[in-house]
């Protein structure tokens, strides 16, 4: 579903944000992408979603070459940014319907698709509610609905639960798991090690622009260490200190 070889990005300023990342994500996996602040997570994710052009390396995303066929990738992947895109004043369902029409669906098909996605995310009945009147958890689920409306095979989630209370986080995890059961592959970043542990089939740790470690949560915890300890051993830093306020 996703393979990169030596993927890199050096910004014009000279900053080598990503210095040759090799990644592999299988179909139907939930893979967590973790790293200290400034490690290169967002830059990598923006390259994989075609929002940034790599300066080195190669990648195949959802069956298409990143360098030669980014438009095909855009049709097959969804991206939910950290900040979401829900308008505070407009009815969330209407926004979503317009979004589906932007992907070329005629209005009746767009309406049907939106109803299906909202049902999957337990948002049915909230179509007329403006973004600002939704709870934090509902807003995040609407953000995910935007990422799903064109039925992508691979969904990128950038810090999906940052700022949510524990109950809403657990609820979101169950929805992400349901996506996997429905056949969607998920690649997510998180600042929460408990989230990576509970949710991800595999974890990739990036540090200083390269992959520093990868494995299943149990592989990374081998030798009786916690995931926090493993992260500290691998990067020399604690992820818990990195959680934004
Ligand atoms: N547009 C840009 N121009 C120049 N340097 C950049 C740009 N975007 C990011 N960087 C730098 O590239 C490095 C990697 O940044 P990136 O945002 O990918 O890290 P991150 O792992 O996502 O960090 P965080 O957890 O804080 O979001 C950092 O040193 C950052 O300052």
DSSP state of 89: S
Q: What is the mean pLDDT of residues 196-202?
A: 96
Q: Which residue, by CA, sits nearest to atom 18 of ligand 1?
A: 40
Render pLDDT for 142-182 as a digit per residue (tens, 0 to 9): 999 999 999 999 999 999 999 899 999 999 999 999 999 99
Task: Compute CA distances 22 → 2, 9, 18, 232, whole Å.
Answer: 10, 13, 11, 22
Q: With a cut of 0.85, is the ipTM above it?
A: yes
Q: Which protein residue has the closest C-alpha to ligand 1 atom 2?
A: 11
pLDDT at 223: 87
Please give the tally of structural domains in the chain. Answer: 1
- Our mutation pick for probing the ligand 1 site, out of 16, 42, 54, 212, counting the most ligand atoms within 8 A of Cβ, is 42
Distant-in-sequence, close-in-space partners of 95: CB < 8 Å, separation ≥ 6? 86, 87, 131, 146
Q: Residue 191 pLDDT > 60, yes or no? A: yes
**Which residue's CA lies nearest to atom 7 of ligand 1?**
11
Chain mean pLDDT for the chain: 93
| The predicted structure's pLDDT at residue 86 | 87
pLDDT at 243 over 80: no
Contact 89, 130 (CB under 8 A): yes
For residue 42, the ligand 1 atom closest to its alpha carbon is: 22
Ligand 1 mean position to 178 CA, how many Å?
31
Q: Which of 7, 11, 17, 51 to mutate to test the pocket of ligand 1 (most atoms within 8 A of CB)?
A: 17
Per-residue pLDDT at 135 exceeds 70: yes
Split at pLDDT 50, 70, 90, the class of 35 is very high
Q: Domain range holding 196?
A: 2-242
**Nearest in space to 50 (alpha carbons), one of 24, 34, 72, 28:** 72
Tell me, in angstroms, the distance from the centre of ligand 1 to residue 80's CA: 18
- Look at ligand 1, atom 25, and give the residue with the nearest C-alpha: 37
Query: Which residue shows structure tokens 């992959």?
Result: 211
Buried b (16+ CB within 10 A) or exposed e, 71-86: eebbebbbbbbeebeb
Query: Cα(166)–Cα(170) distance, rounded to whole angstroms?
Result: 6
Residue nearest to atom 12 of ligand 1 (CA): 17
Name the H helices within the chain: 41-48, 70-76, 92-102, 107-120, 136-148, 166-181, 193-199, 217-220, 227-235
Give pLDDT, residue 229: 92
User: Is it the case that residue 216 has pLDDT exceeding 50?
Assistant: yes
Structure tokens at 245: 């306020």
**CA distances to 86, 139, 145 from 132, in Å:** 8, 8, 16
**Which residue would you say has higher pLDDT here, 244 or 217?**
217
Q: Is the pLDDT of residue 240 over 80?
A: no
* Residue 139 pLDDT exceeds 60: yes
Which residues have C-beta atoms less than 6 Å from ligand 1?
A: 11, 13, 15, 17, 35, 37-43
Q: What is the distance between the alpha carbons of residues 202 and 33, in angstroms, rounded to a whole number?
A: 9
Q: List, for residues 53-111, the tens digit of each pLDDT value.
A: 999 999 999 999 999 999 999 999 999 998 887 888 899 999 999 999 999 999 999 99
For residue 188, pLDDT over 90 is answered with: yes
Please tell me the least confidently modeled range out of 3-7, 125-129, 185-189, 220-224. 220-224
CATH at 153 = 3.40.50.300
Length of the chain: 245
Nearest to residue 180, comparing CAs of 160, 154, 218, 143? 154
Whether the pLDDT of residue 245 is over 50: the answer is: no
Tell me the percentage of the chain whose pLDDT exceeds 70: 98
CA of 101 from ligand 1 middle (Å) equals 33
As given in the structure block, the two tokens for residue 239 are: 């992820």
Ligand 1 atom with minimal separation from the 46 CA = 18
């Amino acid at each position: 579903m996703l393979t990169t070889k030596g993927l890199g990005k050096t910004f014009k300023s000279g900053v080598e944000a990503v210095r040759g990342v090799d990644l592999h994500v299988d179909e139907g996996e939930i893979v967590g992408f973790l790293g200290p602040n400034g490690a290169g997570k967002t830059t990598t994710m923006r390259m994989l979603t075609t929002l940034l052009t790599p300066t080195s390396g190669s990648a195949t995303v959802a069956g298409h070459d990143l360098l030669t066929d980014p438009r095909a990738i855009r049709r097959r992947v969804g991206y939910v940014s950290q900040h979401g895109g829900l308008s505070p004043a407009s009815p969330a369902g209407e926004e979503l319907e317009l979004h589906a029409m932007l992907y070329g669906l005629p209005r009746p098909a767009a309406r049907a698709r939106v109803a299906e996605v909202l049902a999957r995310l337990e948002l049915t009945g909230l179509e007329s509610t403006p973004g600002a009147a939704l709870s934090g958890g509902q807003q995040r689920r609407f953000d995910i609905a935007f990422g799903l409306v064109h039925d992508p095979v691979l969904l990128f989630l950038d810090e999906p639960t940052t700022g949510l209370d524990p109950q809403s986080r657990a609820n979101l995890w169950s929805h992400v798991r349901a996506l996997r059961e429905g056949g969607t592959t998920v690649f997510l970043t998180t600042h929460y090690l408990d989230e990576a542990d509970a949710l991800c089939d595999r974890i990739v740790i990036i540090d200083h622009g390269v992959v520093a470690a990868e494995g299943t949560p149990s592989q990374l915890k081998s030798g009786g260490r916690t995931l926090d300890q493993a992260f500290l051993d691998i990067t020399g830093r604690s992820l818990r200190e990195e959680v934004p306020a």
